[in-house]
Structure 1
Amino acid sequence: MRQIDLVDKAEEPIKNRIIEVPQDKGEIHKRAPYGKFISYVPIGSIKRGEALVKTGNGKTIPCASCHGADLSGSTIGPAIAGNFGIYTVRQLHGFKGGTRASSQSVMMAPVVASLSDEDIVDIAAYLSSVSL
């Protein structure tokens, strides 16, 4: 059996993942409060996520319904634009899986119920690309 040395691989398919790395590792190591990250997302995910966020694409409701027209938050829902993609993925999976236990979680459960794992990554990719 031949052993594959992954260190020699130049590329690895991203598949259905979001990978976030610091722009400046030194700044993050110093815990700089405004350290920036680069998000690597699947090809086409930002465009697909935009459609889901803006229209619901028949799977959910538009995010602006509760999070405000510019997604910067409202009296009903918090700001969701510009968050880390990985954070958004975790939150949406928490709502879908029932591991979030707040009063707002009850409102979000039916909103995310029909979303696939790919939909969640797409939404997170789009929202992380939006600046406030």
Structure 2
Amino acid sequence: MTRELVTRDAPVFDQFPPGIYGTAVGLVVWFAAAAWILFDRQSDIGLPLAMVSVLLLVAVMLPWSLSLVWSRHRMPNERNPNSISLRDWRRGDFVVWGGRLRGTQAAIDMLLPLAAVAFGLTALGIVFLICANGAR
């Protein structure tokens, strides 16, 4: 067992692999779908759900379009982030501000709030439907 706090052979990355971004977009879509399916039971809720959906669409499309612009105007000597496998990225370190995180910890830190909101809204909607059906 080593006494070093930082492994010296771990590769260092400054970007998430595309699979992590795909998971994040999937969680945002889950959130929007759960809101529409589970809470669209009244006539006056359509407009707020539409506005939330537009906000989430902008929150997903803006970073995606910026990444397309960045990939088109990248310097020729920069490494292509799509060539990094998720397995290699997971074993390496991820640079954050003034320090480093393990790749798995960085992915958890990014995806956990999105998953909590998506799954929490789904659970809330299911309880809402059970209570609404029980009140009849």
Whichever structure has more helix as a proportion of its residues is 2
Q: TM-score, normalised by structure 1?
A: 0.26
Q: Relative contact order, CA 8 A, sep 6+: which one is greater?
A: 2
